[in-house]
Amino acid sequence: MSFLSDDDGTLNPNGPRTPPPISHFAPLIPIVLTTADACRSRGDEDTLQVINDVVYDLVNSPLEEVTVFIPQVVAYCALVINDGNLDLTTRDGASLVVSTVAECKPKLFGRKCNVEGIVESMMCIIEVSEESAAGAFFENNPAWKEDAEEGEEDDEDENYDGPTQCGIAQGVLDVLACNLPMKYIFKTVITKIGERMGSQDPRRRKAGVATLGVVCEGCR
- The answer to whether residue 71 scores a pLDDT higher than 60 is yes
Q: For residue range 27-42, what is the model confidence (pLDDT) as tens digits?
A: 889 999 999 999 999 9
User: CA of 190: how far to CAs of 154, 197, 208, in Å?
Assistant: 36, 10, 9
Q: Are 182 and 219 in contact, with CB atoms under 8 Å apart?
A: yes
Of 8-22, 101-115, 119-133, which gets the smallest average pLDDT? 8-22
Going by their DSSP bridges, the two strands 11-12 and 4-5 should be labelled as: antiparallel
> What is the spatial distance between Cα 80 and Cα 58, in angstroms, rounded to a whole number?
18
**Span 61-82, mean pLDDT?**
93
**Domain segments of the chain as ranges:** 17-113, 114-220
pLDDT tens per residue, range 96-124:
999 999 999 999 999 999 999 999 999 99
Whole-number Å distance between alpha carbons of 138 and 156? 11
pLDDT of residue 2: 41
pLDDT score of 194 more than 80? yes
User: Looking at residue 109, what is its pLDDT?
Assistant: 97
Whole-number pLDDT of residue 50 = 94
pTM for this prediction: 0.81
| Cβ within 8 Å of residue 175, ≥6 positions away | 98, 99, 102, 103
Average pLDDT over the chain, rounded to whole?
Answer: 84
